[in-house]
Amino acid sequence: MTRSNARGNVVIFLSILTLSALSMVWLFWHYPVKTLIATIAVLVVLGISARLASAIETDSVAELEHGNPGM
């Protein structure tokens, strides 16, 4: 039972991934400049979020190592 559920999850994941890729290709084909700008903007936001998250996590780990429980 869990094996068929896992298979279904993989199929759903691949379907969503394919739909996302096709929509990106279609958008890039019809609106290349706008799609490029939007893609770069999203990647910049994700990069900034990753740096902020790693900075916050590093501070939390340092506090825990020094015996400060935080909350």
> pLDDT-based confidence at 25, cuts 50/70/90?
very high
Distance (Å, whole) CA 38 – CA 8:
32
What is the count of structural domains for the chain?
Answer: 2
Q: What's the whole-number average pLDDT of the chain?
A: 86
Q: How high is the pLDDT of residue 29?
A: 96
Place of tokens 């990647």: 43
For residues 24 and 47, membership in a common domain is answered with no
Where helices occur in the chain by DSSP H, the ranges are 2-30, 32-65
For residues 35 and 1, membership in a common domain is answered with no
For residues 18 and 39, membership in a common domain is answered with no
Q: How high is the pLDDT of residue 32?
A: 96
For 32-62, write each residue's pLDDT tens digit.
Answer: 999 999 999 999 999 999 999 888 877 666 6
For residues 61 and 46, membership in a common domain is answered with yes
For residues 24 and 35, membership in a common domain is answered with no
Contact call for residues 63 and 70 (beta carbons, < 8 A): yes
For residues 36 and 70, membership in a common domain is answered with yes
For residues 23 and 46, membership in a common domain is answered with no
pTM of the model: 0.59
